[in-house]
Structure 1
Amino acid sequence: MWITVSHGANTLKKVQDEIAKKLHLYDERRNKNEWTNKSESDKAAEKRYTQFLNGKRFVLMLDDIWEKVDLETVGVPEQTRENGCKVAFTTRSREVSLRMEDREPMEVKCLEPEEAWESFEKKVGVDNLARDSRIMELARKVAEKCSGLPLALIVIMGACSRGVD
């Protein structure tokens, strides 16, 4: 399960709601309020939620966290060799990494400007960029503004490849 948390969100609520959505515990059109109105502890104790998280091997990827996520409160079982569960996360903060008790931190460096541009160009498509010199110029400026941050580039590239001007 891949969950992009991001800054400013109620982290615990966001993680629980996204896990529930991925487990199809509620239908957004029919019974979303039934889930979202529950307390955090009720969500973590929800039978279908705990049965899945305690009964299956899974990998939970928490992307772009800005504060510690209390996995126990979320309802995520402790990672053990026996249950095969894995939790990974990305953060820009060394302090958050320490609070999460990361046992094997790995630093991901920003892409070099030329690598970032090549990735951007490949994803968006050379033909799309070459249609107009102003598009190419603007695209280079946008890629530069992302400062080689992979997440920022992915978001911008995705929007551009869908035809957002």
Structure 2
Amino acid sequence: MGGGSFIEEVRMLGQGSTSSSWKWWAVIGGLVALPMCLCAFCMVSGLGVALLGTVGLMAGEVRPAREVAEQFLSALRDERWEDAYARCAPSFQGQLGGPEELARRHGGDRRPVEWSFSRWSVEVKNGVRQAHLEGTLTTASGEKYAFSIELRTRAVGSGEAWEIHAFTMD
């Protein structure tokens, strides 16, 4: 093929065939389609990375709140009423009345034994981080309930701690 131009080389590819124009259009199509596909891939993968980053950030934000919710539910399951009560904010403790009331409300057959979270969110309101977790739980009697747990942070030294502000079973 010597030192000819690219177009001459493409024309020579089509010689000897009854329809050489399809090869010419295939080369042009490839030269146009390849950059478009690469651009589309870069855009999609960039959006995918951004989406995964947002999901990861949200999971990282909710993890500490979810751990406190898990500890609270585990304390209820294991009938450690003082421990469950201690994880509650003072305002919620006032509503409960004490560990004995927590045991009366959520003990016995109403005691959660299994649970899973299906929805969660974290937001800042009036400078306070708040989390809302929802899911389903199974009680010791085998009944299934929807539940929600509201948590808020409070300052502790130079950090913060999550506390239970509300717990409801429907």
- Do the two structures share a fold, i.e. TM-score over 0.5? no
TM-score (norm 2): 0.18
Higher relative contact order (CA 8 A, sep 6+): 1
TM-score (norm 1): 0.18
Which structure: larger Rg? 2
